[in-house]
Chain A
Amino acid sequence: MSPSIQILNPGILTLIQDAGRYGQHSVGLTTGGPMDPLAFKWANRLVGNDQHVSALETTIGGLKIKVNSCTQVAVTGAEVSVKVNGQAKAQWQTLNLKANDELELGYATQGCRIYIAFASGLNIEPQFNSTSTVVREGIGGLTGKGLQAGDVLELNHETLEDSRWQLPESARPVYEDTVTLRLIPGYQEHHFSRHQQRMFFYHEYKVSDLCDRMGYRLTGPKVTCDIEGILSEGICLGAVQVPKDGQPIVLMNDRQTIGGYPKIGSVLSIDLAKLAQLTAGGTVKFEPITIDHAHNELALAQYRYRHQALVAVTSEEIK
């Protein structure tokens, strides 16, 4: 019997994701991939995987699974209760599982995207070079949909390794209800008057009920643009489009690849992950950043991730 995990309850929404689907925009396929890539990478690293192997993204919570062999697992991302066979366990650290163990998540108390990675990774047939599930396209994962109770996911191999690691608390992302999104002005920015841009950067916006893997609609003071539409053009991750109603939409991983609404710029990916952890009612503020400063921030973030050491877990104590 090959090592595998069985989904007992998929919770609100559980999707198979890898780093995302790239180089496929020419046939209209979007990127997909983890909404919070940093938490995703840490989950993989805590179980000794390459940072982009296939793992699970659960939104809000409620996931329950059972493993049929020895493996290691790590749960990162949104704050959530984790139980193995009913016993409370910690996030952001390696957990050892043996055959027939059950892992159960509660519901997120802070943030909303939870990542669950397994040692050796999920063995999923890629579609268009990626296993990332995009439900809107019916592409990726097992069947292009969210996982269902009864689904069985194969692991690449059994893991007898039992050394455990944790990410020091000081290095863990903090998910807050109010986030500042640094935005690189771009696209049609010159069609938003200086006054409108000031308003946009000055005011706070709320995350509306219409927020999902495709986009986050915000509500707040109306931003007006001197054009209503443009010839449809490519949309990058984090682009902020402003339709006629003046309420900004931040485009996320499962966005359409082209569209005809004016855009004021794009959110820095590091900050987009924080937005992805917000649910309806969260507060957002925008702050301008130059592309050169953005590149610097990305390089620094990569440096910090690479040089952050994991700490060995020696006791069963919960942190």
Chain B
Amino acid sequence: MRIHVAGENALMVYFADTVSDATSAQIQHTAQGLAQHLGDVLIDLVPSYASMLVLFDPLKTDHIHVRKLIRGAASHPQVEQDSQQENIVRLPVYYGSETSPDLAHIAQNAGLSVEQVIEIHQQTLYRVYAIGFAPGFAYLGETDARIATPRLATPRKKVPKGAVAIADRQTAVYPAPSPGGWNLIGCCPTPMFDPKGTPAMPVQAGDAVQFYAIDKDEFFALGGTFDAWGEIE
């Protein structure tokens, strides 16, 4: 673990150089240990792929004290329950042709059938590595290497809310309409960000996510719609 200065009120903790489930678990464990200081000397935490940004109030504490808090939280013995308590969130996806403009392209690239790509996308238990880009946007990884696909050369001006997408070995659900360059393979009717909801998101960093296919009737029953999909090319 390396701790770097990031700013006057921020330390960056690097847990590893690469992404792994073990690193993700370690980040969550440290975040949980530090959470008790939030609202007091700490003002926010930003867990990400292999790091965590720790923001503190520089008028209440200093970086030397915060380093101690971080090391303390990280070295606190990991209770075995930590891993057993893993939260698995299951998200429904409609993979039909109406909401999957890039599926054929991914299948062709991979030398697979569309059905195989859909199957492979559901087989992986994904990890929520980070939340950012936009409110409720959860970066999930890693996809099976066979369906990894680079971003579109030209991003779309408007990706519909709920779009399930792949970029390289990452997958995500767009929480709100936004510009985006990821490959679209389906639509998830579960809201990923509801400002009025408690919690506002169905997932948090460190959770596991599994996608499961639903048919058109189930998609509509769960509140899904094709409304914004007609406009995209």
Where the two chains meet, the residues of A that have a C-beta atom closer than 8 Å to any C-beta of B are: 22-29, 127-128, 137-139, 184-187, 231-239, 256-259, 263, 265-269, 291-292, 294-295, 298-299, 302
In the complex the two chains form, is A236's CB within 8 Å of B195's CB?
Answer: no
In the complex the two chains form, is B12's CB within 8 Å of A295's CB?
Answer: no
Given contacts A127-B195, A234-B53, contact A184 B8 (CB under 8 A): yes
Taken together as a complex, chains A and B put the C-alpha atoms of A268 and B58 apart, in Å, by 12
Say yes or no for B26: interface residue by CB 8 A criterion: no
Residues of chain A within 8 A of B70, CB atoms compared: none
Taken together as a complex, chains A and B put the C-alpha atoms of A186 and B53 apart, in Å, by 12
User: Which of A234, A237, A259 sits near B12, CB closer than 8 Å?
Assistant: A234
Residues of chain B within 8 A of A24, CB atoms compared: 44
**Which has the most chain B C-beta neighbours within 10 Å: A187, A238, A265, A291?**
A291
Chain B residue with the shortest CB-CB distance to A188: B4
In the complex the two chains form, is B135's CB within 8 Å of A137's CB?
Answer: yes
Measured CB to CB, the closest approach of chain B to A77, in angstroms, equals 22
Residues of chain A within 8 A of B7, CB atoms compared: 184, 186, 236-239, 265-267
User: Which of A29, A235, A237, A268 sits near B135, CB closer than 8 Å?
Assistant: A29
Taken together as a complex, chains A and B put the C-alpha atoms of A269 and B7 apart, in Å, by 9
Chain B residue with the shortest CB-CB distance to A301: B59
Residues of chain A within 8 A of B204, CB atoms compared: 26
**Interchain residue pairs with CB less than 8 A apart (26):** A23-B43, A25-B44, A26-B204, A26-B205, A27-B135, A27-B201, A28-B134, A28-B136, A184-B8, A186-B7, A186-B12, A187-B6, A231-B48, A231-B49, A231-B51, A232-B48, A233-B46, A234-B53, A258-B132, A266-B6, A266-B8, A267-B7, A291-B63, A295-B8, A295-B62, A302-B59
Measured CB to CB, the closest approach of chain A to B10, in angstroms, equals 4
Taken together as a complex, chains A and B put the C-alpha atoms of A269 and B139 apart, in Å, by 30
Residues of chain B within 8 A of A26, CB atoms compared: 45-47, 131, 204-205
Say yes or no for B50: interface residue by CB 8 A criterion: yes
Taken together as a complex, chains A and B put the C-alpha atoms of A32 and B30 apart, in Å, by 26
Residues of chain A within 8 A of B59, CB atoms compared: 298-299, 302
In the complex the two chains form, is A27's CB within 8 Å of B46's CB?
Answer: no
Chain A residue with the shortest CB-CB distance to B135: A28
The 8 closest A-B pairs by CB, nearest first: A234-B53, A234-B46, A266-B7, A258-B132, A236-B10, A186-B5, A236-B7, A294-B8
Residues of chain B within 8 A of A138, CB atoms compared: 176
In the complex the two chains form, is A25's CB within 8 Å of B45's CB?
Answer: yes
Given contacts A186-B6, A237-B7, A258-B130, contact A22 B12 (CB under 8 A): no
Taken together as a complex, chains A and B put the C-alpha atoms of A226 and B195 apart, in Å, by 40
Chain A residue with the shortest CB-CB distance to B4: A186
In the complex the two chains form, is B6's CB within 8 Å of A236's CB?
Answer: yes
Give per-residue flags for B1-29: 1 if the beta carbon is below 8 A from chain A beta carbons, else 0: 00011111110100000110000000000
A-facing residues in B129-150 (Cβ within 8 Å) = 130-137, 139
Measured CB to CB, the closest approach of chain A to B6, in angstroms, equals 5
Say yes or no for B165: interface residue by CB 8 A criterion: no
Give per-residue flags for B196-220: 1 if the beta carbon is below 8 A from chain A beta carbons, else 0: 0001110011000000000000000
Measured CB to CB, the closest approach of chain A to B126, in angstroms, equals 16
In the complex the two chains form, is B6's CB within 8 Å of A23's CB?
Answer: no
**Which has the most chain B C-beta neighbours within 10 Å: A26, A259, A267, A268?**
A26
Chain A residue with the shortest CB-CB distance to B10: A236
In the complex the two chains form, is A268's CB within 8 Å of B8's CB?
Answer: yes
Taken together as a complex, chains A and B put the C-alpha atoms of A295 and B201 apart, in Å, by 35
In the complex the two chains form, is A184's CB within 8 Å of B52's CB?
Answer: no
In the complex the two chains form, is B38's CB within 8 Å of A23's CB?
Answer: yes
Known A257-B46, A258-B48; 11 more pairs at CB < 8 Å: A23-B38, A28-B131, A28-B133, A186-B5, A186-B7, A233-B50, A234-B10, A234-B51, A237-B7, A256-B132, A298-B59
In the complex the two chains form, is A27's CB within 8 Å of B200's CB?
Answer: yes
Given contacts A127-B195, A234-B51, contact A23 B44 (CB under 8 A): yes
Say yes or no for B193: interface residue by CB 8 A criterion: yes
Chain B residue with the shortest CB-CB distance to A268: B8
Residues of chain A within 8 A of B103, CB atoms compared: none
Residues of chain B within 8 A of A238, CB atoms compared: 7-8
In the complex the two chains form, is B6's CB within 8 Å of A28's CB?
Answer: no
Residues of chain B within 8 A of A234, CB atoms compared: 6, 10, 12, 46-48, 51-53
Taken together as a complex, chains A and B put the C-alpha atoms of A281 and B46 apart, in Å, by 33
Taken together as a complex, chains A and B put the C-alpha atoms of A22 and B63 apart, in Å, by 19
Measured CB to CB, the closest approach of chain B to A14, in angstroms, equals 22
Say yes or no for B166: interface residue by CB 8 A criterion: no
Given contacts A26-B205, A258-B133, A299-B59, contact A233 B53 (CB under 8 A): yes
Say yes or no for B223: interface residue by CB 8 A criterion: no
User: Which of B4, B133, B135, B199 sits near A139, CB closer than 8 Å?
Assistant: B135
